[in-house]
Structure 1
């Protein structure tokens, strides 16, 4: 079905009849590479999953990533409008076309070094978010405790994660309670909570030897600024170099913005907050390749990390 949606959407853009689409990946959304021999241009077409974002929310995402590039010099993909000027091609599956940016995911052997640059980029994004005058009608999700782990549980309940039995439920339940209490004490004042990318993991960064581009703002919304660091180590929280990566990130962040020591002390709260949210995500997205690959092992490793965090 997605292929047919993509082909129909292409008819709305200024492409030659020779243009073709090729699937890149299926995760939350379905992403295609568009190659147009007639013009020599390459682009990215994102086919949105149904029921997650309304068109106004998608337009809000596009407004921020555009403002970040134009106002703060952050490398983000330009949005390619349809022939009628629409940024979002609406339908049963809304579609957006982006320019193709060069680069690859940061290599593992450079993670510590690259995280200093990521920290500085993240701080520039947060600085922009704090002063940016959002356009009328701007609307995005909120990623607070209730939305992630509580009554809303936007990605599902961690209790329904793969491999969550009685023992796992007990350990992760203690983690959940601790996170809820620590986040409540930390608070959501404007100096700590605002507009964030919310998914700055390695797959959403492109490096080309000259700098780093930030892509896929699909989950951007309102949350704790430190959540962007928790998301940056998604799926690799157990790597032995993570403490060094965090040190590198904070060094880069402080080159742009202040990071109070009392905030720094809560970094692992946000790493574990994201980790528990991903246990829920894997449970509710078992058809996605990365979720299927990680499976119950991710839950088991999360319990080990939780025990270390809690003690």
Structure 2
């Protein structure tokens, strides 16, 4: 049998969907065969919008990402549970199995490492909040602050929060971009030198402050992972990279995504120098 990674993309996704339907029937009491499953993305995780007939939608995530074992997935779901219970930050609320589990181990044929399945409630709204509209940028900042307030004030037994630690070294120096041969080839010597220089510049900032400046963080808090809700608020999705680190990392990611969007908008709306 070929390894899972050797299968064509469509065959991989078909395999994962069949497994997901089976898990939903066996562990969540849903009719797997009768569900509508719309693919949202498939990279490290296969993510579907799952809709039972006549019922609200769910999000199903079957993770085929190495290095995210079941204990780490459970920690992610436990944090989401505290956020959903607080009613201060709109997030996809985890749905437990019929026997009370957050995560179901899944054997994917042709793959050595266990995969995991998690089910969450669909968060209605649209991605990439329109920050140019009055009040929306403030709502994005307020949501970020509330996320960190939860991390600082709602205990989870931090010794049991089994998630990555995000700092300048793990992000820029020992992460995938420099640790993998493919990443090094893509970067080249010049790109690697730039990353090292950036790490030197931001490391002092990440070392400032004390314990109150660090805690649970989203880890990937850009605009595409924010949802503009029907009531005009801002929610947060995709906690797959959550971990512990300096709160500045989340703040910087939000600002960077706004800056990148703004720069792209200006580039497409300014008159061409050649035309002028």
TM-score (norm 1): 0.67
Aligned length: 237
Range moving further from structure 2, 24-33 or 64-73: 64-73
Q: 1: CA distance between counterparts of 2:102 and 2:189?
A: 48
Deviation at 1:33, TM superposition (A): 1.4
* 1:120-199 pair list within 5 angstroms: 120-135=142-157, 137-150=160-173, 152-153=174-175, 155-157=176-178, 160=183, 164-180=187-203, 182-183=204-205, 186-187=207-208, 189-199=210-220
Secondary structure of 1:125's counterpart equals helix
* 1:230-245 pair list within 5 angstroms: 230-233=252-255, 237-240=259-262
1:21 pairs, out of 37, 45, 53, with: 37
Query: Is the contact between residue 106 and residue 114 of structure 1 (CA under 8 Å) also seen in structure 2?
Result: no
Residues 1:43 and 2:58 are matched in the alignment:
yes
RCO (CA 8 Å, sep 6+): is it higher in 1 or 2? Answer: 1
Q: 1: CA distance between counterparts of 2:43 and 2:195?
A: 26
Residues 1:90 and 2:105 are matched in the alignment:
yes
Gaps of 5+ in 2: 1-14, 107-113, 265-276
Counterpart residue number, 1:223: 245
User: Structure 1 residues 192 and 174 mapped into 2: Cα distance closer, same or farther (>3 Å)?
Assistant: same
Deviations along 1:231-273, one digit per CA (max 9) or x if unpaired, are 224556444479xxxxxxxxxxxxxxxxxxxxxxxxxxxxxxx
Deviations along 1:114-133, one digit per CA (max 9) or x if unpaired, are 22111111112212211222
Q: 1: CA distance between counterparts of 2:263 and 2:138?
A: 13
Range moving further from structure 2, 123-132 or 108-117: 108-117
Deviation at 1:97, TM superposition (A): 0.7
Gaps of 5+ in 1: 243-311
Q: 2: CA distance between counterparts of 1:176 and 1:109?
A: 29
Deviation at 1:76, TM superposition (A): 1.3
Counterpart residue number, 1:6: 20
Deviation at 1:214, TM superposition (A): 1.3
Counterpart residue number, 1:69: 84
Query: Is the contact between residue 72 and residue 128 of structure 1 (CA under 8 Å) also seen in structure 2?
Result: no
Counterpart residue number, 1:206: 227
Counterpart residue number, 2:140: 118
Query: Is the contact between residue 172 and residue 195 of structure 2 (CA under 8 Å) also seen in structure 1?
Result: no
Secondary structure of 1:52's counterpart equals coil
Q: 1: CA distance between counterparts of 2:262 and 2:88?
A: 33
User: Structure 1 residues 113 and 106 mapped into 2: Cα distance closer, same or farther (>3 Å)?
Assistant: farther
Deviations along 1:100-123, one digit per CA (max 9) or x if unpaired, are 121001354637842211111111
Q: 2: CA distance between counterparts of 1:82 and 1:23?
A: 22
Query: Is the contact between residue 36 and residue 42 of structure 1 (CA under 8 Å) also seen in structure 2?
Result: yes
Q: 2: CA distance between counterparts of 1:200 and 1:27?
A: 18
